[in-house]
Amino acid sequence: MTPTRPAARDAQQPKGDPPLMNAKAADTTSKPKGASVVDNAIREISHIATLPEITLKIVELVEDPTSTAQDLHQVIANDPALCSRILKVVNSSFYGLPGQIGSINRAIVLLGLNAVKNIAISASLAKLFKGGQLCPAFSAKDLWAHSVHTAAAAKIIADQAKLGLPDEAFLAGLMHDIGVMVELQVNRNGLIEVMNNLKVSKEGVPSLAMLDLEQKAFGATHQEFGKALSEKWKFPKVFAAVTGNHHAPHDAPSEARTLVSVVYVADRLAGELTGGYRLDLPSLDIDPSISESLKLTDKALAEIRENLAQQSAEVESLLN
């Protein structure tokens, strides 16, 4: 396998993503700067789209140290469709658990509260990525597929590196580009302008840095929007760190840097797949210092690449 080469300022370029539900166009001639533009965006979308109430309840429940497995079971049992999706994921070969898991209680016993929470959130995210072709370079469908592929790669990396956080890695990969969804809702026309200005080749490779174009169009990037939305949803801080730093793991808080690095690598491996989405990745090179920090050798990366397409296809069928 060709050794990975240092990423050329790639860690500074965010990713283009798909639309959310009922995206709202907004014309902003004078744009607020920094935190104010992000705060305004999060306030504006709070009444347009969010995670289902039951999903937010699950997040709140698991973050409560006094909650029990029975509490989680009672919440999930109120949504048979969600319950079914969770069991479908748990029983897939992607998890490789022995025997057939027939109940949420059993899934909680085998995987733990946190893992079932992360699977429940993952099973709920797909509906936020619904939408058609925004412009020739970008569609919600492609962004969702890339998010799923990144999630699959992140879990494989976490397993391979024996990091002990496969479910966190999976969910972090799935939501890493969620900030583009914020951009779509608050300024649809601005996002179209960003995508068109990327000057994407026939192979899907952008000529310009998406982060720079986002900063110019919105006064912030999808990393900042994603971080703020994760905080709005009251997700654990580590997920806000991933959405806010997945292009620059070295800038992440030290306690979250490992997970952010996993998603950084997974993002690039997913972009390598045939027809892979990579609007925010002019280069797919992996910074050697990051792969080394995860103890990922060239051989390990080659094995992940070899299995990723099949694993991604399976996960996509589970979550769609």
Indicate the residue type of 100: Q
Q: Which of 186, 102, 150, 101 is nearest to 260 (CA)?
A: 150
Q: What is the mean pLDDT of the chain?
A: 85
pLDDT tens by residue, 159-190 = 999 998 888 999 999 999 999 988 988 899 99
Question: What CATH number does the domain containing 249 carry?
Answer: 1.10.3210.10
Work out the angle between the directed axes of helices 222-232 and 210-218 (0-180°, nearest 10).
70
For residue 185, give its domain range. 10-49+129-319
Would residue 75 count as lying in a domain? no
Least confident of 12-21, 26-35, 62-71, 206-215: 12-21
* Model pLDDT, residue 141: 85
- Give the confidence band of 17 by pLDDT, cuts at 50, 70, 90: very low
* Model pLDDT, residue 47: 58
* Model pLDDT, residue 49: 61
Would residue 71 count as lying in a domain? no
Would residue 84 count as lying in a domain? no
Indicate the residue type of 156: I
pLDDT tens by residue, 254-278 = 999 999 999 999 999 999 998 888 9
Would residue 17 count as lying in a domain? yes
Report the number of distinct structural domains present in the chain: 1
The CA distances from residue 196 to 125, 140, 190, 191, 210, in Å, are 26, 15, 10, 9, 11
* Model pLDDT, residue 208: 94
* Model pLDDT, residue 152: 94
The CA distances from residue 60 to 17, 72, 172, 177, in Å, are 27, 10, 17, 22
* Model pLDDT, residue 34: 63
Would residue 64 count as lying in a domain? no
Would residue 35 count as lying in a domain? yes
Angle at 11 between CA 143 and CA 181, to 5 degrees: 30
45, pLDDT greater than 50: yes
Would residue 61 count as lying in a domain? no
Would residue 168 count as lying in a domain? yes
* Model pLDDT, residue 2: 42
Least confident of 18-27, 127-136, 281-290: 18-27
52, pLDDT greater than 90: no
The residue that leads in pLDDT, 78 or 1, is 78
15, pLDDT greater than 80: no
CA 109 to chain centre: 26
Over residues 104-113, the mean pLDDT reads 86
Burial tier of 70 (Cβ tally within 10 Å: 0-12, 13-18, 19+) = exposed
Q: Which of 263, 257, 62 is nearest to 173 (CA)?
A: 263
The DSSP-derived string for the chain is -PPP---SSGGG--------TT------SSPPPHHHHHHHHHHHHTTT----HHHHHHHHHHHSTT--HHHHHHHHHT-HHHHHHHHHHHTSTTT--SS---SHHHHHHHH-HHHHHHHHHHHHHGGGG---EEETTEEHHHHHHHHHHHHHHHHHHHHHTT-S-HHHHHHHHHHTTHHHHHHHHH-HHHHHHHHHHT---TTS--SS-HHHHHHHHHSS-HHHHHHHHHHHTT--HHHHHHHHHTT-GGGS-GGGHHHHHHHHHHHHHHHHSTT---TT-S--PPPHHHHHHTT--HHHHHHHHHHHHHHHHHHHHHH-
pTM above 0.75, yes or no: yes
